Homo-oligomer: A and B are copies of this chain.
């Protein structure tokens, strides 16, 4: 870690559960970073920042934070519908920007952000697909790069949540974009990343409402399956679920011509096995928040290193705006296929 000079000065925007985690990481655990500002419209969240973070300047208004000349980069953990404009505003204010996924659920808006960002090539703009920074996903990526499984041609990937009896996501369905844009978008990014960023050419999706009937009015499902064909003969299969009994089970497989890798096959909560009258078992990660605790940290470190390292290190900085656009494009095609019952050509 570095001492106090030459640090990247960050401002975090949004201090909900995930925002708090990012804020703590940036404040205490990222070499080269100083969390100098935080922004939330809620006094309660600002109070938390006042007590917990190392004397950040606090803002209720995003525009005020952007006006702070001693902020080099903003870290957006805000509602999805705000992302696109907030990114544009940050770039215009001359600040690097990290933004939680998704970029936008509107393709035109995605394009608009990309166009704007093209005007600021010296600024880093990264979308938070944190799975790329999970140590196990990273290890798989490196093994693939090293040729350990030959040529990778198929990814199977899933994002499945423990059933939420409160059904928060049902009410959230209208704005989340549905299960594929909310959950599978991560798997889409993983598949493209591990397969060498191929372009999708055709998708098909289907789904079931296993438990949450309320989703039907939004054309959404609580379990979705999909196939994605890429242009160079590569393939992906996706599964998303809101109704798992055992926990958050996020795992992926990459199959190559000379071997395969599975990442997270058993979503173990820890290294403990329990032997009792029901057999031998392990408990599972309850949610993505616990599963990807390390990934959020590594993501922050990579962003800061990328900004400080310049163009050479950009490759390791995470998903680009173009990656995010492509993930949205595929996710929307999946939704369209789910609703039409037809394969959708991109």
Contacts and interface: CB of A to CB of B under 8 A. Distances in A.
A98 B274 CA distance: 33
A154 B263 CA distance: 22
Contact of A270 (B136, B208, B255, B257): B136
B245 A277 contact: yes
Interface string A237-272: 101010111110100000101111111111111111
Interface residues of A, number: 83
Interface in A13-34: 24, 27-29
A211 interface: yes
Given A53-B3, A208-B233, A245-B277, A262 B258 contact: no
Interface in A114-171: 135-136, 139-140, 143, 148-149, 151, 153-154, 156
Contacts of A206: 202, 204, 227, 229, 235
A111 interface: no
A93 interface: no
A151 B243 CA distance: 12
A70 interface: no
Given A237-B237, A245-B275, A280-B284, 6 more contacts: A1-B52, A2-B51, A3-B51, A143-B274, A153-B208, A278-B283
6 contacts: A1-B28, A4-B55, A139-B269, A206-B235, A245-B276, A279-B281
